């Protein structure tokens, strides 16, 4: 699929950067003129993925979180969030609603459920000790001229 535009943003795994990631995505998406709901869905899904990287990927360490956003020719938004943290030993279990390894931080275990519900496609690849990559896609509604 032809890439119309693409942005890459790397940030340290500080919780304050959850908002930075949302701001970057929002700014980039202005060119595609999404609906308020589409923008809200994507911002929320990105927030969940970056939070997972900060809270779980780099639980006892610090590292970088890489955010890639692409606008494709068919008005599809491609988003990749990658960390090089501890990785997930059982991705299937981690994606089950309400499963959390951080109840002390009041994590609800719904991060992946939100990403799955708010985006069209969610793919998670993880390797213990190497990190996790989340890829999400969402097709925006046809543009009205």
In the complex with another protein, the residue whose CB is nearer, 33 or 105, is 105
Q: In whole angstroms, give the CA distance from residue 89 to residue 30.
A: 37
With b meaning 16 or more CB within 10 Å and e meaning fewer, what string describes 86-107?
Answer: bbbeeeeebbeeebbeeeeeeb
For residue 60, the minimal CB distance to another protein (Å) is: 16
For residue 144, the minimal CB distance to another protein (Å) is: 21
For residue 102, the minimal CB distance to another protein (Å) is: 9
What string marks each residue from 37 to 76 as x (binds another protein by CB under 8 A) or -?
Answer: x--xx-xx--xx--x--xx---------------------
Are 79 and 46 in contact by the 8 Å Cβ rule? The answer is yes
In the complex with another protein, the residue whose CB is nearer, 19 or 121, is 19
Are 25 and 11 in contact by the 8 Å Cβ rule? The answer is no
What string marks each residue from 4 to 43 as x (binds another protein by CB under 8 A) or -?
Answer: -----------xx-xx--x--------------x--xx-x
Indicate if 107 belongs to the active site.
Answer: yes
Are 50 and 94 in contact by the 8 Å Cβ rule? The answer is no
Tokens of 142: 């046809």
Are 64 and 13 in contact by the 8 Å Cβ rule? The answer is yes
Indicate if 48 belongs to the active site.
Answer: yes
Tokens of 62: 């610090």
Indicate if 43 belongs to the active site.
Answer: no
Would you tell me which residues interact with another protein (CB under 8 A)? 15-16, 18-19, 22, 37, 40-41, 43-44, 47-48, 51, 54-55, 97, 105-108, 110-111, 113-114, 117-118
């Amino acid at each position: 699929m032809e890439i119309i535009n693409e942005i890459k943003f790397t940030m340290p795994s500080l919780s304050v950067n959850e908002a930075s990631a949302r701001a970057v995505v929002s700014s980039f998406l202005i060119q595609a003129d999404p609906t308020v709901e589409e923008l809200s869905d994507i911002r929320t899904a990105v927030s969940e993925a970056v939070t997972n990287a900060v809270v779980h990927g780099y639980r006892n360490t610090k590292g970088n979180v890489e955010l890639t956003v692409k606008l494709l020719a068919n008005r599809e938004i491609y988003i990749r969030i990658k960390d090089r943290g501890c990785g997930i030993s059982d991705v299937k279990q981690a994606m089950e609603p309400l499963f959390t390894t951080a109840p002390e931080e009041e994590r609800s275990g719904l991060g992946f459920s939100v990403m799955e519900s708010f985006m069209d496609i969610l793919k998670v690849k993880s390797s213990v000790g190497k990190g996790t990559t989340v890829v999400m896609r969402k097709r925006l509604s046809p543009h009205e001229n």
